[in-house]
Amino acid sequence: MGTAGAAVGDADGNASAGDSRRVAVPPLAELASRLGEGVLTTDPDIIAAHARDEALFCPAEGAIALVRATSASDVQEVMRFATEHRIPVVPQGARSGISGGANASPGAILLSVARMNDVVAVSEAERTVTVQPGIINQDLKDHLAPFGLSYPPDPGSVGISSIGGNIATNAGGLCCVKYGVTRDYVRSLTVVLADGTLSVLGPQTAKGVAGLDMRQLFIGSEGTLGVIVEATLRLVPALPDPFTAVATFPDERSGLQTVADFMAGGGVPSLFEFLDGSSLTMLNAYGDFGLDGEAGSMLIMQVDLAAAESEAMMANFAEVAHACGALDVAYSDDPADSADLIAARRMIQPAYEKFAGAHGGGQLLDDVCLPRAAMPEFCDRLDALRESSGLTISLVAHAGDGNTHPSVFFDAADEAETAKALEVFGEIMRIGLELGGTITGEHGVGYLKRDWLGEELDAGAQRMQLAVKNALDPLGILNPGKMLGGL
Amino acid sequence: MGTAGAAVGDADGNASAGDSRRVAVPPLAELASRLGEGVLTTDPDIIAAHARDEALFCPAEGAIALVRATSASDVQEVMRFATEHRIPVVPQGARSGISGGANASPGAILLSVARMNDVVAVSEAERTVTVQPGIINQDLKDHLAPFGLSYPPDPGSVGISSIGGNIATNAGGLCCVKYGVTRDYVRSLTVVLADGTLSVLGPQTAKGVAGLDMRQLFIGSEGTLGVIVEATLRLVPALPDPFTAVATFPDERSGLQTVADFMAGGGVPSLFEFLDGSSLTMLNAYGDFGLDGEAGSMLIMQVDLAAAESEAMMANFAEVAHACGALDVAYSDDPADSADLIAARRMIQPAYEKFAGAHGGGQLLDDVCLPRAAMPEFCDRLDALRESSGLTISLVAHAGDGNTHPSVFFDAADEAETAKALEVFGEIMRIGLELGGTITGEHGVGYLKRDWLGEELDAGAQRMQLAVKNALDPLGILNPGKMLGGL
């Protein structure tokens, strides 16, 4: 493992390759000396191992150093140094993102807060928890359980993604249909700005309107405005055990129509997931979850109201599903049944990876959020895309929110098929926009979708984005090229 | 009523008095000709009648014209004209605010959207409503009732304040303790920017993370970044009838301690209001609401869960209240009882006005939000202030959120007492900040609190606020001097 002192040569080499505008060699040894032992490294192997998140097709070359911060003061040192020497900085958490938002940039310092993963304080009186950004979402949930408190946001990556990254991307998940997204649980943020200034954004209180809400601006800003070093999160009393229903359908449309009709009729699910036929087939090939592999689609729906209300809502769901042509509807109030079904749903990505592995390795996971009522038409448009492209496209969705995750599978060794898959990936976003949706419901823009952002935002919104970015990061050193890089 | 053509002379006079930097007379007749008949007026009496909101101690002089916009395109015309001629613009809704945010500024055009008050569309499928900004909150609620849908935010001003103003101040209210604030219900905004550009901020979908969240930045921006001309709001199924409990206490501390203890124990009220002894006395002097005028304080608490859960929570509340020393606890599931109690609570401001009327006319209403557990200490600090100042200070609070509204009463004809009252008003905010609170939980900064904003925000946050304001309103024409004017 290289130390900073020994590795300035490496830094030099990387830097001149990666950023031809910069003439001076940044004195990384000086920065290293301001940080603790082993906090900064320029070891190329270690840098390479930290250079990317889980996204495909995103560059991740040219980082000159990795800083594994242990404190807000480490982060401040890095940003002061970066401002002084005009060095790009890429903030990183668990690197579990799938849009390339945490990928290295040429000449950049990778600034990881993964080691800053403590729970600072739990307040039962205020129903809040204050954490460092590197804590893993599930670890936080586990920490809170003995207090009888819940932090609801549960992205698919709940077991591997960190709270700082969840905030930086405003992560969603399965419970959003009732409990909202990460944004809804952030009470205040401590951030380090581009010039190293430490600032607390948002009051510690339940309500507060003192000035422009910079806390809200930072949520979902993907590391382009500053580095989150602490967060106070709003909690709720421990969530009750839900009732769970499963319904299977002969095709996709009838499942999605059930979602639209049940919600329009006043349904209040706490989880409402859709899986298409190909996803069911891939899950069955991955493990024995007792799913009907012959069904054209499946819905998993949960309700966590009081028992009588939940039963009534389950009965209403069954009625709506049957009216839409369901093959079968079953429900249970046994927490074990619920847990099994949700575990199966959470296995969809490994199941996709197994399928992809046997078919050339390529998978592009999309994230189009639609008006709920547009989902059946979206499904028809995907059918047309399957036909025109010849590619396998699977669909799962946080259907209660209209948040769809189509996956395009392709042979990554076949250049033409890869190009076609990328084209289909973009076409899916365009269809989403045509149907009144967004190119990204919860995964973020990062590098992967930066060239599509301009298709969603109007001219005024684009100018505002760039003006605000420039106002808060005038040197353009914070995660350059990401999110707004295509505008 | 003056017409624009006839009134340029007035405009000239006002403008040169109010803004010595501007040399040219703005050609208001030209602007008037671009708007419909009667949209722009320079009649001094009409301008004077529209020059201020409900705040005291805030200047409201020097406006040169009033535009009562009937469309987004009127708003665009005004902003284009204002940019071209560098004229300040003060966006106005119902002018029901109490911080002076809608007050006239020297040389400014008052831009009212009160006439833009239509419901554009209700979508039962998406559970959203799209409205123009001038619609009154209660009118929207009434419009939605036949659809079985609710728009929860219910500021005290629900019957007189408009949705545009609610969004511009991120208005709170009585239901926030369970249902959150205005921000939590805004799905997308159509705004007119400083240069007249129309832009849609935020997707129409339930989730969306495409770029920096400008919609969130606009919520609570008090007209300093642009003018809201349309909003799509998230709705929920009609709220159930609540159970209502009332508890009286010998003093204030025991009531506030009950709030802290009940919430720390997992209570989930849908409303949780506190009234101190002097507020009860003033209410009893205003009308016969059947309240115990001898009590030192009172809590009104509602729960809207399923019947069995609500009953259990009511029993728990009674237990906690008695443990804190309650004089009496009663509860009811009769909607008429609930309505009566809430109606009494909503009469507090008229009751205060009656008291003030008999004691020199002055009332300063504060809006400090605190950590819940700090409320008893806050109460002690108010006692000390009463003693040192000799002034009457009453206290009501959205106690479940820690959002307190102390009122300082004074003889407005007595200069020394008025000065003392203003000092006490500021001291209350300082105490709030010392106890971990904010200077404004829901009323906004406006003009009234602009000199205190710098005491709440740290240096980095202040710089960010100004940088963002400057980036989006480089000429400084949008509601100048308000909110950030003291930084």
CATH of the domain at A63: 3.30.43.10
- B141, B169: one domain: yes
- Residue B37 backbone dihedrals phi, psi, to 5 degrees: -55, 130
A305 vs B contacts (CB less than 8 Å): 306
**Contact check, Cβ <8 Å, B468/A469:** no
Q: Is A268 on the interface with B (CB under 8 A)?
A: yes
pLDDT at residue B174, rounded to an integer: 92
Among the candidates B51, B80, B112, a domain finishes at B112
Query: How many domains, in total, are found in chain B?
Result: 3
Closest CA to A350 of A73, A54, A72, A9: A54
A372 vs B contacts (CB less than 8 Å): 125-126, 206
Q: How far apart are CA B481 and CA B19, in angstroms?
A: 13
Is A455 inside a domain boundary?
no
Is B482 inside a domain boundary?
no
A vs B, Cβ pairs < 8 A, gives 267
Is A470 inside a domain boundary?
no
pLDDT, tens digit, for every residue of B64-83? 999 999 999 999 999 999 99
- Residue A13, min C-alpha distance to chain B (Å): 34
Q: How many helices (H) and strands (E) does chain A have?
A: 17, 19
- A305, A413: one domain: yes
Q: Is B141 on the interface with A (CB under 8 A)?
A: no
Is B451 inside a domain boundary?
no
- A257, A169: one domain: no
- A273, A367: one domain: yes
- A126, A82: one domain: no
Residue type present at position A19: D
SS3 B254: helix
CATH code where residue A166 lies: 3.30.465.10
Please name the residues in contact with A110: beta carbons below 8 A apart, sequence gap of 6 or more: A47, A50, A51, A63, A65, A66, A67, A90, A92, A104
A126 vs B contacts (CB less than 8 Å): 371-373
Query: What would the DSSP string read from start to end of A49-110?
Result: HTS--S-SS-------EEEE--SHHHHHHHHHHHHHHT--EEEESS---SSSTT---TTPEE
- B81, B167: one domain: no
CATH code where residue B312 lies: 3.40.462.10
Residue type present at position B79: M
**Contact check, Cβ <8 Å, A470/B470:** no
Structural contact between residues B313 and B254, judged by C-beta atoms closer than 8 angstroms: no
Structural contact between residues A187 and A232, judged by C-beta atoms closer than 8 angstroms: yes
- Residue B89 backbone dihedrals phi, psi, to 5 degrees: -125, 130
In terms of C-beta density within 10 A (0-12 exposed, 13-18 middle, 19 or more buried), how is residue A326 classed?
buried
Range of A64's domain? Answer: 28-112
- B101, B168: one domain: no
- A408, A312: one domain: yes
**In 10 A of CB A45, how many CB atoms?**
10
* Nearest CB to A211; choose among B125, B197, B457: B457
pLDDT by residue for chain B (487 residues), tens only, comes to 333 333 333 333 343 444 445 446 789 999 999 999 999 999 999 999 999 999 989 999 999 999 999 999 999 999 999 999 999 999 999 999 999 999 999 999 999 999 999 999 999 999 999 999 999 999 999 999 999 999 999 999 999 999 999 999 999 989 999 999 999 999 999 999 999 999 999 999 999 999 999 999 999 999 999 999 999 999 999 998 999 999 999 999 999 999 999 999 999 999 999 999 999 999 999 999 888 889 999 999 999 999 999 999 999 999 999 999 999 999 888 888 888 888 889 899 999 999 999 999 999 999 999 999 999 999 999 999 999 999 999 999 999 999 999 999 999 999 999 999 999 999 999 999 999 999 999 999 999 999 999 999 999 999 999 999 999 999 999 999 999 999 9
pLDDT by residue for chain A (487 residues), tens only, comes to 333 333 333 333 343 444 445 446 789 999 999 999 999 999 999 999 999 999 989 999 999 999 999 999 999 999 999 999 999 999 999 999 999 999 999 999 999 999 999 999 999 999 999 999 999 999 999 999 999 999 999 999 999 999 999 999 999 989 999 999 999 999 999 999 999 999 999 999 999 999 999 999 999 999 999 999 999 999 999 998 999 999 999 999 999 999 999 999 999 999 999 999 999 999 999 999 888 889 999 999 999 999 999 999 999 999 999 999 999 999 988 888 888 888 889 899 999 999 999 999 999 999 999 999 999 999 999 999 999 999 999 999 999 999 999 999 999 999 999 999 999 999 999 999 999 999 999 999 999 999 999 999 999 999 999 999 999 999 999 999 999 999 9
pLDDT at residue B24, rounded to an integer: 64
**Contact check, Cβ <8 Å, A401/B206:** yes
Q: How far apart are CA B212 and CA B232, in angstroms?
A: 19
Structural contact between residues A417 and A425, judged by C-beta atoms closer than 8 angstroms: no
Q: Where are the alpha helices (DSSP H) in B265-404?
A: 277-286, 307-323, 335-346, 348-357, 375-389
Query: What would the DSSP string read from start to end of A200-247?
Result: EES-SSS---SSS-HHHHHTT-TTSS-EEEEEEEE-EE-PPPPEEEEE
- B58, B198: one domain: no
Is A5 inside a domain boundary?
no
Q: How far apart are CA A27 and CA A11, in angstroms?
A: 9
Is A457 inside a domain boundary?
no
| Residue A74 in tokens | 């480490």
- B312, B281: one domain: yes
* Nearest CB to B458; choose among A200, A439, A460: A200
- Model pTM score: 0.94
- A262, A159: one domain: no
Please name the residues in contact with A439: beta carbons below 8 A apart, sequence gap of 6 or more: A367, A368, A429, A432, A433, A445, A449, A452, A453, A455, A456, B210
- A421, A335: one domain: yes
Q: Is A146 on the interface with B (CB under 8 A)?
A: no
- Residue B16 backbone dihedrals phi, psi, to 5 degrees: -70, -30
The ipTM, to two decimals, is 0.94
Among positive and negative, which fits the CA dihedral A115, A41, A31, A23? negative
A-interface mutation test, from B186, B212, B455, most A Cβ less than 10 A away? B212
Structural contact between residues B65 and B185, judged by C-beta atoms closer than 8 angstroms: no
Is B465 inside a domain boundary?
no
Closest CA to B81 of B109, B112, B105, B106: B109
Is A71 inside a domain boundary?
yes
Residue with tokens 């004017």: B485
